[in-house]
Amino acid sequence: MIELVLFRTGAVDIARSAFQPWLEGAARDNRVVAPVWSALLRTPEGNIVFDTGLHPVHVDRPDATFGPQSGLKVVMERDDAIVARLASVGVKPDDVAIVVNSHLHFDHAGNNGAFPHATFVVQADHLAFAKGKPNFPGVYWDIAELRYLPVSGRTRVASGVEVVPTPGHAPGHQSLVVDLAETGRVVLTGEYGGKAGFRHVMDGLGIEAADEDLAFQLVQLCASATGKPLTDDELRLIAAYPRQLALLFPGQLTPAG
């Protein structure tokens, strides 16, 4: 049986338009504190970590990665670091067999160096895309002693666990599909976003949204608010009744037309 534990591994203070690009005017510059999430999967084949979160250097220096001019600020306490989160449930870095990175941005691969004995599963095209690019700072992940396993497409990681390409936020972005005995299938999406990514998920589930723009906004809003993966049934509900559900969020969504 698989046990899934979600950890908040810090947050990013950023303009709301980064997550809700449809906003207009002054609303685009409103600030939002977006949580960063990692996960631990205890499986019969070993422990798996999904995304390693933000590096604790940001506790004392919130703008350590991109500087004060970037407009992006990390909000983080020492207990937010993935190593501390794992320790709270009795897991040491050397107990982790596999790390799956959704992608290699600093808030999703910031602690890769803490797991020198793990195998890192990353889509091959993303690994090639990220290498050497300043917006994918290699100091956190492009480390000689780390062992990366480049994969292409849908790939089994363990029984009931597989990676699925979900491009959109970045080329080669991937999500982790986990089949849980008690609650069913969940999808850990990293920072899977954008309209292309949304369509990719819906097409994979065989769903046609009644109002695609509104359904997309609702998915983004729910994911940002809860920090939890949406289940297949939740996605189907949003796709079927976007206009009705939008009434629960007055002033927060922009109807088409």
Candidates 194, 101, 170; CA nearest to 140 is 101
Residue type, 205: L
DSSP conformational letter for 248 = T
Q: How far apart are CA 168 and CA 191, in angstroms?
A: 9
Q: How far apart are CA 2 and CA 179, in angstroms?
A: 8
Which secondary structure element, helix H or strand E, spans residue 3, and what is its range? strand 3-15
- pLDDT tens track for 227-242: 556 777 888 899 999 9
Model confidence, pTM: 0.76
Give the residue extent of every domain in the chain. 3-179, 193-257
Look-up of token digits 């780390």: 146
Q: How far apart are CA 179 and CA 211, in angstroms?
A: 29
- pLDDT tens track for 16-72: 776 666 667 777 778 888 889 999 999 999 999 999 999 999 999 999 998 887 778
Q: Which CATH class is domain 3-179?
A: alpha beta
